[in-house]
Structure 1
Amino acid sequence: MRALHPRYVLHRPLGPQANADDPERGQCPVPALSHHGHQRPVLLQTVTLLGVFFLGFGYFWLLVPKPEAQLQQLGLSCSVFTVSMYLSPLADLAKIIQTRSTQRLSFPLTIATLLTSASWTLYGFRLGDPYIMVPNLPGILTSFIRLWLFWKYSKEQDRNYPLLQT
């Protein structure tokens, strides 16, 4: 019974010695969740976001009876999320200016964001759909701000900072 106790399962070692005491199970490693305690905030954020998603889903399907109202409110919600996505890289703006380094920014992602947001803005303009056009305008603006930062703080100034290791 000891092998099934949660405390014993969570603290088993990984690798070849993980199941050395059980010849039937062989050498299959068991994930030691106790070694991943630093991932708890990420897990909590993920669960919270999933909860918000399901609350929103329930709101749209249970509390908003008319399909037209559902579409309008869903469009507004998606617009807010899109704008926040495009503004998120600017959260490091103060640190970028302070260090005079663009290492916190991704140049390929900046170009991709510019092309994607410009394409969606043009598409929304052609359709006359503000829920597509308006939220993608900040993507164009923030891409130009990031391109300006890449121009202002060229790679020569970044040589003092070591590359980030993943």
Structure 2
Amino acid sequence: MQKLAIVLGCVVLFAGALFLDTYFEQQQVEQLQRSSIAKSEANTTEEHVPNTELTLLNGQTKQLYSLKGHYVLVNFWATWCAPCLEEMPELLSLAQHKEELHLVLVSVDEAHHAIMPFFEKLGLTEAVKAQNVHLVTDADQQLAQLFQSFKYPESYLLTPTMALQQKFVGKVTAKGILKALK
């Protein structure tokens, strides 16, 4: 009888944790839609992400809006994130085949020196040097806060006008991105 009570207790705790995780994730999505994305003056049906400065891994800076005219996938990731490790080769392969898609790979790692060894370990050092791949550092997580990205990986597909087209929570596939692009 005592074992049954323990098992039932564990099931209830697990179900409660799952519910809370789902609830808070939905709250984050709703808050992002309400607060971080400004309505476009030209077209009030599209929600545009704000322009922001991106700090590239090489120390240079770039404005997010400099990528206007292209589809942009902003991907928040970390070197310690197992799903990030799994999705990165597929994302970079997609970028090689769809040059009109720009990848903004935002590392939330505190240690910048861990980023390139991550790509070396995966055999992707050449892929991250492509013109449509932008390695961005966000150690202070200001960009992650702007996008309200708190779980990794998370990706945001932006239209050529910088409107938010779709948010992907968790590992994203090339198939999912291609479907969203249609």
Determine if the TM-score, normalized by the shorter chain, exceeds 0.5. no
Q: Which has the larger share of strand?
A: 2
Length-normalised TM-score, structure 2: 0.32
Between Structure 1 and Structure 2, the one with more helix by share is: 1
TM-score under structure 1 normalisation?
A: 0.34
